Amino acid sequence: MKGSLDEGLKTALKRLIVEECDIKVDIAAIGDDDTLFGSDSRLGLDSIDALEISIAVMNKYNLLISDSKELRKVMRSINTFADFIQPG
């Protein structure tokens, strides 16, 4: 199943982001297509958060994202992130 169709995976990713970045947001308030980083993001995540998230993803899913351009593309939203982890 493609990651963006897997509600369990998307919920796990939201929880991972909230916990790793220590942000006070209810995971239900994070939309699947919401921008995660940048000025358009309601979460206020920055490059340090991206590093923390990428380390957590490496530890949990055994996936390494080493290129910063790829990282920005992968972590654009919960849906793009889930599709990277579980391509389908």
What number of residues does the chain have? 88
Please give the Cα distance from 60 to 5 (Å, whole number): 20
Tally of structural domains, the chain? 1
**Has residue 88 got a pLDDT over 90?**
no
Which domain, by its residues, includes 80? Answer: 3-85
Which CATH number covers residue 25? 1.10.1200.10
Give 2's contacts (C-beta < 8 A, 6+ positions apart).
82, 83, 86, 87, 88
pTM equals 0.92
What's the pLDDT tens digit per position in 4-58?
A: 999 999 999 999 999 999 999 999 999 999 999 988 898 989 989 999 999 999 9
